[in-house]
Structure 1
Amino acid sequence: MRLKVLILAVLYTFLLSYANPLREEIESLTKDQSVDVGIYVESLATKSFKFALKDKQPFIPASNQKILTTASAIINLTPDYRFKTQILTDGFVKDGVLKGNLYLKGGADPSLSYEDLKSFADYLKQIGILKIEGDIIGDNSFFLEEGRGHGWPEKDFEYCFTAPFSALSLNENCLRLELISDKKRVSVKMYPDNEYYEIVNNLAISKKYSDYKVKAEGRKIYLTGYIKPLSKAEVSIPVKNPSLHTTSAFYKMMKESGIKITGKYHLGKTPPNANTIITHKSQPLKEIIKKANKDSNNFYAEQIFRTLGKEILGKGDTETSATVVINTLKKVGIDVSNIRIYDGSGLSKFNQLTPESIAKILSYMYNTPYFFDFYQSLAVAGTDGTLKHRFKDVKGKIYAKTGYIKGVKNLSGYILSDNGEVYVFSILVNNLKSTEIANKIQESVCLILANGKTQL
């Protein structure tokens, strides 16, 4: 027994001697810097190494929040879960005429595209529907709310990375405008085309420069300024009222495909006795989360987040979805006392996670049958996603999720070390004046781990 205690004591001394270079490196980098750093590192294969610094302290996670969102989705919904979008009717077809309303029922698919709507219209024609004597009704009831999260940066609401979430969405709820000029005038095209927005085109030709502004007010989009002759430009803006916008795009698509519609488009709830005509399924969740994690797509993360609440507890809203994530963390043995969840993407400045909680959920995923599906969703150092241009000296050895909002830059994931070990890590840096110090800390720690400097 004494021998066992002695061996453990010696091993602990060795571990400290190898952890100290990490601590010394971090302390030297953060000295005289008004930054807050939290770190948790642990070896997964051998459990022989662990390093922690403020690991139980709450930090703003930024897009590291997506780790909890996507891991919880894989755990609760399975990697093969698919989002559904349905076309239904409360009427009947006679002599090529649908006598009744047509419903476009959303199921929170973050990948639903204009091409999908076109395929719906084509199928309706194929089965003989040439006229609809009724309305086109969008059903967004899968979620209880639509819009943006609490604590999102309002100054960025004009950009598509803050596009509002909705159970019935199209093209990530981002409208692309194409500006094309000849020698005399400028034309504007919308993608996806729709009847929701009206373009007010006050653009003029200038041989000297291009300088223009785009502003959406209500259902009108105002374009002012100048474009050079014989040129092309693009600008994208987040849509307002995404469910109604999606419904209007479907309405216009069907009319342009040759289907006559006597009614109008609006939102409503599908009656329980409606008959299903089309059920469209997305790619499986294991593919969907790649967009959320590798590319740090906020819209995808928010759609996944609220789907958790709907599918697991019956309500597609923020509070219920946060409860599902918290319950998931509790089930895998993670302390949630310092955790606060206000969204699924990490855009909210009110979110709080600890380095330990992030590392622990990553560690849990490592020991599940669906680890490979989750692991493949993360950005790869020097290869793809948000890490394509980082850590090129250890290319392919780091699989991680980045996180950045003003004053925050974080990194968490897995490291494949030269010593044959697999490390899980979370490095959270808050209260930044510039990102340089965060980059140095993350690179120093990750390079030490990737190069096997902790090997006993």
Structure 2
Amino acid sequence: MRFKILILTILYTFVLSYANPLKEEIESLIKDQDVAVGIYVESLATKSFKYILNEKMPFIPASNQKILTTATAIINLTPDYRFKTTVLTDGFIKDGVLKGNLYLKGGADPSLSEGDLKSFADYLKQLGISKIEGNIIGDDSFFSEEGRGHGWPEKDFDYCFTAPFSALSVNENCLRLEILSDKKNTVIKMYPDNDYFEIVNNLELSKKYSDYKVKVEGRKIYLFGKIKPLSKVEVSIPVENPSLFTTSVLYKVIKQSGIKITGKYYIGKTPSNTTVIITHKSQPLKEIIKKANKDSNNFYAEQIFRTLGKEILGKGDTETSATVVINTLKRAGIDVSNIRIYDGSGLSRFNQITPESISKILSYMYNTPYFFDFYQSLAVAGTDGTLKHRFKDVKGKIYAKTGYIKGVKNLSGYILSDNGEVYVFSILVNNLKSTEIANKIQESICLILANGKTQL
């Protein structure tokens, strides 16, 4: 949907009737620009100022979608919710031998790490287990789907920012390869170490230059090309079968701890006659959402998103989770007629949102007991996250969520003004040929509001 923003189509509301620097600035910036712009600005404390432009028009939100995901999560799950991963057995321990299978049951923890799995192995050792006469079975049934979202950019599937979601995941489902060379040989190390992938190293040493490629085919990783001697290079790739991969990592770390395993590893459901050996809990949700919002981590957002469907309506899939978000917005009094939800991160180009709906959920959060935890999860101007290098002239005055995919650059959040006011804002810019106009619009509006120049 392409259209030209003309001054005659601008819809705005002012409590004060005289000209305002914000209105004049916006009109001068977007005049004759072949971009789609939607704006909603409102003062929260006094309700004395409001500016709107195409506020009910649907836009691609990009990572502004994470505002809906994390706000819905903290409202429905509470800030203290923790993701759980459990280790169970259907057997018993006798003379240092676990006679039975070991189950790793995922609970969608986006922060589960190789270090956590190593701690599981260490605990098994502390129990006196030296041998497992059974299999290591991964249970990913907490979600009813695994993979990527509808409308995600296939050209980016080789990068970890599009890593698949899964109820059973480790290291954000991203495998890091470390390529080391001495004067004669090259060595490839995998982090986390695992028995899932096989490395096929066809690299050659070259004193002149390094030019190499990495190709994944099923469970084989091919490296070919040339690399200089005495080099150290890192490459990261997303894991296509995350639940089985995670199970393989546990299998590997248990063996590395000195515990023998007679069986194999695979995916299955945990039977009812099992005993819990380990319950691992993540940090509380109020800390987890910082990763999703400040750092705009797509994997964290997707894990949170599908957890909503599972915990609230009993099914961890996209459709059910989208229903939870929509229902939450409705309860907050927000018009959802122009909202479309295909994922939790904003990678999908099929998502639609309006500037009004984003601002309204931000306003709603402002009046909940969860506001501080949500507010603290947003990037801070000139300080951290995706705003660390932006808005340095008003450092610490803007708490917001960025959003960027090709042709889209959005910004929504809160502004602490020099005039003592708190503003909520959403500035959505689509159909971009370059990000320059979006940057100018967003920076101009935010600077005017932060400096208190709205003639209140």
- Shorter-chain TM range is over 0.9
Q: Which residue of 2 aligns with 1:297?
A: 297
Alignment of 1:378-397 (within 5 A): 378-397=378-397
Offset from partner CA, 1:359-398 (integer Å, 9 cap, x none):
0000010111110000000000000000000000000000
Q: Which residue does the alignment assign to 1:447? A: 447
| Post-superposition offset of 1:30 | 1.6
> How big is the shift at 1:31?
2.0
Q: What is residue 113 of structure 1 aligned with on the other side?
A: 113
Partner of 1:29: 29
1:220 shift after superposition: 0.4
Query: 1:37-94 CA distances to partner (integer Å, 9 max, x unpaired)?
Result: 0000010111111110000000000000000000000000000000000000001111
> TM-score, length-normalised on structure 1?
0.96
Partner in structure 2 of residue 262 of structure 1: 262
Match of 2:91 in 1: 91
Aligned-residue offset at 1:454: 1.2
Q: Which one-letter code corresponds to 2:187 in the other structure?
A: S
Q: CA deviation at 1:214?
A: 0.6
Partner Cα distance (1:14, 1:110) in 2:
45
Instruction: Report the residue type matching 1:58 in the other structure.
Output: P
Between Structure 1 and Structure 2, how many residues are aligned?
444
Q: Distance in 2 between matches of 1:163 and 1:219?
A: 16
Q: Unmatched 5+ residue regions in structure 2?
A: 1-12
1:210 Cα offset (Å)? 1.1
What secondary structure is seen at the aligned counterpart in 2 of 1:249?
helix
**Are the counterparts in 2 of residues 419 and 455 from structure 1 also a CA contact under 8 Å?**
no
1:402 aligned onto 2:408 = no
* Contact 2:176-2:191 within 8 A present in 1 as well: yes
Paired with 2:358 and 2:129, the residues of 1 have a C-alpha distance of 52
What displacement does 1:452 show? 0.1
Q: Which runs of 4+ in 1 moved over 4 A?
A: none
**What is the deviation of 1:13?**
7.0
**Contact 2:62–2:409 (Cα < 8 Å) also in 1:** yes
User: Where does the alignment leave 5 or more consecutive residues of structure 1 unmatched?
Assistant: 1-11
Amino acid of the residue matched to residue 245 of structure 2? Answer: H
What corresponds to 1:16 in structure 2?
Answer: 17
Cα drift, residue 25 of structure 1: 1.7
Work out the CA distance in 1 between the residues paired with 2:171 and 2:235. 14
SS at match of 1:165: coil
| Match of residue 337 from structure 1 | 337
Tell me how far apart the structure 2 counterparts of residues 426 and 34 of structure 1 sit (CA, whole Å).
Answer: 20
Cα offset, 1:21, TM superposition:
2.8
| Distance (Å, rounded) in 1 between the aligned partners of 2:267 and 2:231 | 39
- Quick one: structure 1 residues 13 and 245, their matched pair in 2 at CA, closer, same or farther if it must change by over 3 Å? closer
Q: Which amino acid is the alignment partner of residue 324 of structure 1?
A: V
Q: 1:317 maps to what in 2?
A: 317
CA distance in 2, matches of 1:455, 1:125: 68
Give distance in 1, aligned partners of 2:345 and 2:258: 40
> How far apart are the structure 2 equivalents of 1:101 and 1:276?
12
TM-score, length basis structure 2: 0.96
Secondary structure of 1:104's aligned partner: strand
> 2-side partners of 1:25 and 1:150: how far apart?
38
1:245 positional shift:
0.2
Shift of 1:24: 2.5
- Matching residue's letter, 1:15: L
- Residue matched to 2:10: none
Q: Answer yes or no: is 1:170 the counterpart of 2:170.
A: yes
Q: Which stretch of structure 1 is more off in the superposition, 67-76 or 201-210?
A: 201-210
Aligned equivalent of 1:102: 102
Q: 1:409-440 CA deviation, whole Å, 9 max, x = no partner?
A: 00000000000000000000000000000000
Q: Which amino acid aligns with 2:16?
A: L
Pairwise CA distance, 1:33 = 1.7
Residue 37 of structure 2 corresponds to residue 61 of structure 1: no
Cα deviation for residue 149 of structure 1 reads 0.1
User: 2:215 aligned with 1:215, yes or no?
Assistant: yes
SS at match of 1:17: coil
* Aligned twin of 2:3: none
Deviation at 1:22, TM superposition (A): 2.2
Separation in 2, partners of 1:357, 1:434: 26
CA distance in 1, matches of 2:436, 2:17: 28
CA distance in 2, matches of 1:43, 1:226: 59
